[in-house]
Structure 1
Amino acid sequence: MTYKQISSTQNALIKHIVLLKEKSRERRKSGLFVVEGQREIDLALNGNYALETILFYPEIFNEEQLPKTSNETEIIEISKDVYQKIAHRETTEGIVAIAKSKSHDLSQLKLTTKNPLILIAEAPEKPGNIGALLRTADAANVDAFILANPKTDLYNPNIIRSSVGCAFTNQIATGNTEDIISFLKANNINIYSAILQDAQHYHQQDFTKASAIVVGTEADGLSQAWRDASTQNIIIPMSGKIDSMNVSVAAGILVFEAKRQRDFI
């Protein structure tokens, strides 16, 4: 099949892709973002994301492997120079897509089970940590992942890359801390906040009921609002010289304890 071709890095579409990668403002304004790699693109499609454009470099990517998309998706063959211009890394198999973003407003969050398990992260800033949290949420198959007071937009390419596509596999919501707490209380969801003060060991808690596990950053921890709203503050007993660990590691320990308990219901 013959596709439209772009060989110039000065092409308007290529310049727009670079802006989408580099500027969160451009992503918000256009409602578009960039996805690299066949696995990530497949996961986005499975997550019902609409692809506006697919660009592939035929020297690396076999066009027979192009994903099945709607007729509205434009498919473009690009040159090596163009691919190197828009690809974040050379291991993305020669395929890049422009996708339409979704709304992740808290009001659209739908919980379909009586005892949901939710992972909440307050004010995470590092894309790598957010990506790792998304991988944890996917691995545990939580009912929802919520970002409270997010400092980085979800479609930052570093988040998508570090999440290895799990930005598309989770039910994700964002909102401010106060609204999230109100949502949890309105839905009778117990709040377990990872806070050192007035805390009990995490494995002493009953996570089989509707539960939200809340983690903060290593630097700042959780805000006072979570301390006030918490059903129970929880800690992970530590035997070393420091009193904190990476947020995604802590979240994994807490969430999988909840999963362990639920496996025995």
Structure 2
Amino acid sequence: MSFSIQGRTAIVTGAANGVGLAVARHFIDRGANVMLADIDEARLVDEIGEMDDDGGTARYFAGDLREKLTVANLVSATIDAFDRIDILVNASRQMEVSDPLDPDDGAVENLLRQNMLNALRLSQTVARRMIRQAEEDDRDDGPRGSIINLSSIAAQRTQADLMAWSISSAALDQATRSLAVALAPHRIRVNAVAFGSVMSASLKGAIRDQSDLRDEIIGNTPLQRIASAAEVAQTVQYLAADASGFTTGQILTVDGGRTLLDVCEASAH
């Protein structure tokens, strides 16, 4: 059973900051070739400049993945740089407070597009490339690719002002399952990591602004702490590696036990 991703090529979206950046760094440190994709080109340039060349190779692609042409260009740029795509990590996520009683609130449509439809479109495009690669390699056995979506425990929680975030997370989970079934005959695996509160820059800022938030999160987490982004990245590596070769259509929860508690209004970051 191998957890190695050395020499494999991955696209990681949302890679300019947060968990997406942590996944990209983790993959590069373990010898993978990674195309970091994000809309924030300045941050991508800064992060690429700080990455160690002793592991894998890092390249970046800046663009708005809500545009179909941008999706096609990202895949083409990755093929030009590395010749193939073995792993896709859809880590681009957006959270937005919404009013569940306002019919003019566009948060649901916005987050469905940002958090689910963008990931679905890129997954479909990358999957077609993975299928062509397998045909060109003339391989009859072994894995052909792994797609990992970063989701949230918000799909299982109820918090009124995060309705749009919860709906988009649940939709992404179901898209994960549906794609897993569709791509299983091609031996392309599709899974998701649903995580709770992770000590990212955005959460650090929220904790600074809300003095009781840290204690609230820890109090609602059986393991009594907040996860690091590296812990999510390690789970993503497992799903990308051959060690999880018989795992598909699963939503792996990394939340310190938080979803085991019956807390309706717990913050679902």
**TM-score interval for Structure 1 and Structure 2 normalised by the shorter chain:** 0.3 to 0.5
> Highest CA radius of gyration, 1 or 2?
1
More strand by share: 1
More helix by share: 2
Give the TM-score of the pair, scaled to structure 2.
Answer: 0.32
